[in-house]
Every structure is written in structure tokens, then in C-alpha cells.
Amino acid sequence: MNTNQKAIACLEQNNYDEALALFKQAVEESRDVQSLTNLAWIYVHEEGDNEAALSLILEAVAQEPISYFPYNLLGEIYADMEKWKDASDILNRSLAIQPSDEAYNNLAVAKYHMGHIDEAADYFLQSAKPSDYTMYSHIKCLIELGRAEEAAAKLDAFSEEDDEFVGQVEMAELYVELDCYEQAVEWFEKGWKIYWKTPDWVGRFAYALLKINQAGRAHEILNEVIQQKAADIRDADKEELDDDWTEDEKAEYVQKLANEKKEYEGLLARILAGYVPPLKYNTSLSSNCYLFGCERHRHPEYRE
């Protein structure tokens, strides 16, 4: 059993410290594509250290590997660091070796942030499942491109039964973007008892309700969240302090709740005055196991 195999075995047995030491030892023994990529992957996904991983994976890619693993990992790191052009370039190299859902998704993310919305739409579609967040992102791009009819048709096809269903509130959010307020309200109602309430989407729910002349329901949902915040403030005030809950932390938390309560209290008036609560859309990077020799994912060790 070589050093990499020992490292993988330790990782599988949750002996992380020993695994990390062995992955480092493998690099000391030979700075090749496999050892450099595997240690870089560990730094990214176990240590959260992109900087340490970057020099290693750049060294691996400089050896012009025939596997797409190092390119995908480098593209992921660049995208996480918001180096969109670098991410785009390296992910195109990855796709030239072997297409993967992760590369298509992350390339779409890079293109989106570079302002190339049409390309982003196409790349999101390459890796999307029927009702997942990647398809959601594809539809968001279509809306930005003015392709509303196509976007609506694809959104209508989403199913709650799909394993990777994006979620009720997310559905509602896109229907608001499409000015389809009745459908938006229907999905907001489905998510109302499930989702954690935040001013951004609750405001959009109230906005959609007002658009279909359901002012009473808009008052109702806002009163509900205002009362809940008031209750949360009372509960927080009663909590006793300890080493893990200081006076400053308590005061900061109570202030946060008070700010949210105040935001809810002013939402209806702002909307009636013309305010349109914006969609808070965030792109989502995709990842996978890129460990050479990982038995769980049936990855062979690297061979030229």
C-alpha cells in the first residue's frame, strides 16, 4: 500500500490528522499530479484554505495532466476567490478534456459574474436537473435576457417530487420576477410554514399579495412576523448570561431582532409608496470528490 492509499484509508476511517500527514508525506515523496491535487483538495474541502491549495494545484496543472480533476479544482478555487476570468479559462480547459456537471455549472457562475448572461444561461442548462438550483439559475438568466415566455414554461415544469427540488419560496421568487403574481402567492403560501422568515422574501410575498389585491393577507403575514420578532426579543431579554453568551453578544442579538422588526413594520408603507423588494439571487458553486485513488468514488490513481 503506497502513501496515497494509506492517506485515503485514514480519511475513510475518519483519522483526519493522520490522513493529512500522509497526504503531505506523499507530496514530499513526489511532487506529481496526484499528490499535489489530493493535498490541494484536502486544503480546500477539509481546511477551508484556498491560498494553501492554490500554489499546489497550480503546480499540478503546470504538468499538463490528462485528467480533468486538477482543472476542475483550480476552477473551483478561482471562482470561490471571485477570479472569474481565471476560472472561466481553466474550466474551459477542463471541459476540453472531459465534460462534467461541476465544470459546466462553475463556468456558468463565472460567466454570469463577468456579465455574459447568454453564455451563463447555456452553461447552466448543460448541468441542470429538471427542478434544481442550477435550472433555477438558468431560468434567472433567461429572465434577465428578456426571454420571459421560455422562462415561464421551464418554471411551470418544476416538480416538488423531484429529489433536488429547489424549494417553494425560490419558485415564488422567480414568478415575481416574471410578474406572475398569482403563481408567486401560491408558492409563497406553500413555503410560509416551512421557511425561516427573513425580510427580503417576506417583503416580496407582501408585494405579490398587493399586486393581486389581497391587502388583508399582506397585513396578516406582516403582523405575524412582527409579533414573532417581538416574542423573540422578549425571550432573548430573559436569557441568562454565561461564558458562551456575553452581555455584548446578547445586546447585539437583540438589536438585530429589533432592526428586523422595524424593517417589517415599515415594509407595507414602502411598497405602497412604490418600493419593489428586490430578488436576492446568489450563484452557487458545484464541487465533487477529486481525490485520485478514492475507493468510495471508484477513482483510480493518476496515470499518464
- Alpha helices for the chain (secondary structure H): 3-12, 16-29, 33-42, 50-61, 69-80, 84-97, 101-113, 117-127, 133-144, 148-156, 168-177, 181-192, 199-211, 215-238, 247-272
Residue 157: per-residue pLDDT = 97
Residue 60, pLDDT score:
98
Q: pTM score, two decimals?
A: 0.92
Check whether 237 has a pLDDT greater than 90: no
If one compares 242 and 49, the residue with the highest pLDDT of the two is 49
Statement: residue 243 has pLDDT above 90: no
In a domain, residue 223? The reply is: yes
Q: Is the pLDDT of residue 240 over 90?
A: no
The pLDDT of residue 36 is 98
Residue 63 lies in a domain: no
> Rounded CA gap, 163 and 229, in Å?
33
302 in any annotated domain: no
Average pLDDT over residues 71-92: 98
Q: What is the pLDDT of residue 1?
A: 79
Q: Looking at residues 95-115, what average pLDDT do you find?
A: 98
- The 10 Å CB-count burial string (b at 16+, else e) for 33-55 is bbbbbbbbbbbbbeeeebeebbe
Task: Report the amino acid identity of residue 92.
Answer: N
What is the domain count for the chain?
A: 1
Cell 486538477: give the residue. 70
Predicted local distance difference test score (pLDDT) of residue 59? 98
Work out the pLDDT band at 275, boundaries 50, 70, 90.
Answer: very high
User: What whole-number percentage of the chain has pLDDT above 90?
Assistant: 95
Classify residue 247: in a domain, yes or no.
yes
**Residue 148 domain-assigned?**
no
C-alpha cell at 103: 465544470
Mean pLDDT along residues 206-219 = 97
Domain that holds residue 195: 181-282
pLDDT in tens, 159-183: 999 999 999 999 999 999 999 999 9
Angle in degrees, CA 286, 292, 296, rounded to 5:
75
Is position 76 within any domain?
no
Domain presence at residue 77: no
The maximal CA–CA distance of the chain, rounded, in angstroms, is 71
Residue 278 three-state SS: coil
Residue with cell 507530496: 27
> What is the mean pLDDT of the segment spanning 68-84?
98
| Residue 21 CB burial class (10 angstroms; 0-12, 13-18, ≥19) | middle
Residue 267 resides in a domain: yes
Mean pLDDT, the chain, rounded, equals 96
pLDDT value for 244: 83
